[in-house]
Amino acid sequence: MLNKTAHVSEAMFSKKIESVPVRDGFGEGMVRLGRENPLVVALTADLKESTRIHRFAAEFPDRFIECGVSEQGMITVASGLANYGKIPFACSFAAFSPGRNWEQIRTTICLNDVPVKIAGLFVGVTVGADGATHQMLEDISLMRSLPNMIVVAPSDAIEARKAVIAAASINKPVYLRIPRVESPVYTTEETPFEIGKAVTIWEEKNPQVTIIAHGVMVYESLLAARELSKKGIMSIVINCHTIKPLDDQAIIHAAKLTDAVVVAEEHQQSGGLGGAISELLGQQYPAYIEIVGVADSFGQSGKPKELLERYGLTAEHIAQAARRVIKRKNS
Amino acid sequence: MLTNMATNLPQDELRAHAQAIRIDIIKMLNQAGSGHAGGSLGMADIFTALYFRVMHHEPENPLWEDRDRLFLSNGHIVPVRYAAMAHAGYFPISALKTLRKLDSDLQGHPERVRMPALETTSGPLGSGLGQAAGYAYAARMDNRRFRVYCVTSDGEHNEGNHWEAVMFAAKYKLSHLTLFIDRNNIQIDGFTNDVMPLEPLSEKYKAFNWNVIQIDGHDFYQILSAVEQARSEYQRPTVIIAKTIPGKGVSFMENKFEWHGKVPNDEEAKRAIKELQKNA
Ligand SMILES: Cc1ncc(C[n+]2csc(CCOP(=O)(O)OP(=O)(O)O)c2C)c(N)n1
Ligand SMILES: [Mg+2]
């Protein structure tokens, strides 16, 4: 059952639900933010249109910086801008930023504690035909291990737009993980969004399993929950858009209700949200956990849907994991 | 074994190979529905020269231990390499239509593990020269005789990693390493001169102690002479700065940065192939 306080789209499970590339929401958020806050500056490394920063660049040419293909250069320049007092958003593909420039992020942004916002577009296997080199599956792991860094992974275009605005309002480094792919817009203007606060989207009486997800896997999790419900398996679905700091309270609360947790994410099974939740529950409330993610392999070229299927990242896989974890709990 | 000879070269034959490779690039990109047309077409002449005249290699024995090595740094133009390899006999031309499809060895960006003859995996820019330099260094430690070629783009020269390798290769006098630059003046966000100016590029390499040769990258005589000149250099690595026309051979793609990462639709593909056939 959909949680009323989440105010999700009325078209949630209908064919009419609109699909929009999550990155488009990011681009729109940047334009709105630019109008609100003159301190905001955007940088890119020769990926203006792919990162959807081209509209910001057109409207605020004086606050847009083209760095050329130089992710290490771009991120250190962003560090300098933030140190001065600007609010820089460094936009590239996640495989290159934070993939290539991790040490510069560690030292000049995190240890230095300056509020650079790093937007990593093109994440997960849904990047598609470009193949493994461009399908970033390790970024959450890289970013969440850094002190001072906040890690946010929006689940649809509206949430991506809200995440941009929210990221600018905190005086901290933030990593925004933004999918390229079209994904159903299941949230609305009214859906609550606050960095660090997980949102319960689906909630049934006497739940047997909690499904926690981020990014495009949230919608897949909701589809899974609906299927499970039809078979009499009640569940909770949490959109955990902020991976760091984790909403410990919400997660422990749900774990206590179900004792069985499935984490679903378009990331390696190690080091991502699944890792973060395992660390939390392992130390504070041991529960049965299954992680639906990429199993220690790289992606490959293909269509997004084919690849989600191939790498075990669909609603069906989530439902199977839910059955497995419930079985383990009950055995 | 294919070998080279700059003199007496059958220019017409090479040109015919290059046009056939261009036609296959158009077909494979059209079928894939995504990929990079501009750089792939622009480098068709140089890849034809490499695979049909320059490199010592054995397509039927792709990992022949004395083969010359070719490192493609700007991995996004790999369609030109796949097409040249197919025409040289590495695999059937029919395999080209699997480009960018699930389970194909012809990944969107080159992957050595799936196709060892590619020598390395690339796509993320600026890392090819360092790898080629490392390989060349290792080969010299063992007195191996083959040459190492590396192909880069101009956009890649924005990356610090590339310039670190430029210094390394000069310091260690890797004269058996030859670098081609696809100097086509475009990258994704526009003309290189607007995105990140590189000139004076040849002076930069000279200042970094490289042997510098500038050529027209569509003139086979110049391509092959430059390679010959590189072979007679025993002190420095050689860079061949090849002026090319991105989208070469297809008038509506030529010199347009918009075609960096675009592919022709059915109608455009038809027009492009017609034009390439006419000038074959
Ligand atoms: C490290 C890295 N950053 C960004 C990209 C995205 N990218 C792919 S091609 C390209 C443009 C590079 O210019 P160039 O190679 O000269 O393009 P071409 O002449 O082939 O059109 C960029 C920025 C990448 N592949 N790798
Ligand atoms: Mg170029």
Question: E strand or H helix at A139, and its extent?
Answer: helix A139-144
CB neighbourhood size of A169 (10 A): 12
Q: What is the model's pTM?
A: 0.96
Alpha-carbon Rg for chain A in angstroms:
19
For A131, the closest of B108, B126, B195 (CB atoms) is B108
Q: What tokens does A160 get?
A: 């991506």
In a domain, B66, yes or no: yes
CA dist B41 and B254 (Å) reads 9
Contact list in B for residue A56 (CB cut-off 8 A) is none
- A325–chain B nearest CA distance, Å: 31
The total of structural domains in chain B comes to 1
The candidate with the shortest Cα–Cα distance to A209, out of A105, A28, A107, A330, is A330
Residue of B36, B114, B159 to mutate, testing the A interface (most A Cβ within 10 Å of its Cβ): B159
In a domain, B235, yes or no: yes
**Cα–chain center distance at A221:** 14
Which residue of chain B is at minimal alpha-carbon distance from A69? B158
DSSP-H helix ranges across B67-127: 78-88
E-state strands within chain B: 69-72, 148-153, 177-183, 186-187, 190-191, 211-216, 238-243
In a domain, B80, yes or no: yes
Helices (runs of H) and strands (runs of E) counted in chain A = 11, 14
Q: Phi and psi at residue A184, in whole multiples of 5°?
A: -55, 135
Q: Is A85 left (phi over 0), alpha (psi -120 to 50) or beta?
A: left
- A301–chain B nearest CA distance, Å: 5
The count of CB pairs under 8 A between chains A and B is 93
Report the pocket of ligand 1 as residue ranges, CB < 6 Å.
A 45-47, 69, 71, 96, 100; B 36, 38-39, 74, 76-77, 123-126, 153-156, 184, 186-188, 246, 260
Burial class (CB in 10 A: 0-12, 13-18, 19+), A10: exposed
Question: The CATH number of the domain where B159 resides is what?
Answer: 3.40.50.970
Q: Does A46 touch chain B (CB under 8 A)?
A: yes
Distance B78 CA to ligand 2 centre (A): 14
A235-239 vs A209-213, strand pairing mode: parallel
Is there a contact between B123 and A307 if contact means CB atoms under 8 Å apart?
A: no
In a domain, B4, yes or no: no
Alpha-carbon Rg for chain B in angstroms:
17
In a domain, B1, yes or no: no
CA dist B277 and A157 (Å) reads 45
Residue-wise pLDDT for A175-218, tens only, equals: 999 999 999 999 999 999 999 999 999 999 999 999 999 999 99
Q: Is B54 helix (H, G, I), strand (E, B) or coil?
A: helix
Active site residues of A: 71
CB neighbourhood size of B16 (10 A): 13
Q: Which residue has the tokens 């679905």?
A: A237
Which residues have CB under 8 Å from A311's CB, separation 6+?
A125, A294, A295, A297, A299
Q: In this predicted structure, what is the pLDDT of residue B11?
A: 82
- Structural domains present in chain A: 10-17+191-330 (3.40.50.920), 19-184 (3.40.50.970)
Query: Which residues make beta-bridge pairs with A260?
Result: A288
Q: What's at A16, amino acid-wise?
A: K
Question: E strand or H helix at A250, and its extent?
Answer: helix A248-258
Q: Which atom of ligand 1 is nearest to the CA of B126?
A: 1
Containing domain of residue B158, as a range? 10-278
Distance B74 CA to ligand 2 centre (A): 9
* A304 cis-preceded (ω within 30 degrees of 0): no
From first to last of its 280 residues, chain B has per-residue pLDDT tens of 344 445 556 788 999 999 999 999 999 999 999 999 999 999 999 999 999 999 999 999 999 999 999 999 999 999 999 999 999 999 999 999 999 999 999 999 999 999 999 999 999 999 999 999 999 999 999 999 999 999 999 999 999 999 999 999 999 999 999 999 999 999 999 999 999 999 999 999 999 999 999 999 999 999 999 999 999 999 999 999 999 999 999 999 999 999 999 999 999 999 999 999 998 8
Average pLDDT, chain A: 98
The candidate with the shortest Cα–Cα distance to B40, out of B69, B71, B83, B11, is B83
CB B249 within 8 A of CB B210: no
Ligand positioned closest to the Cα atom of B247 = 1
Question: DSSP letters of B173-190?
Answer: T-TTEEEEEEE-SEETTE
The candidate with the shortest Cα–Cα distance to A206, out of A233, A237, A228, is A233
What ipTM does this complex have? 0.95
Q: For chain B, how far is it from start to end, CA to CA, in angstroms? A: 26
In a domain, B2, yes or no: no
In a domain, B5, yes or no: no
Q: Which residue has the tokens 């320059």?
A: B54
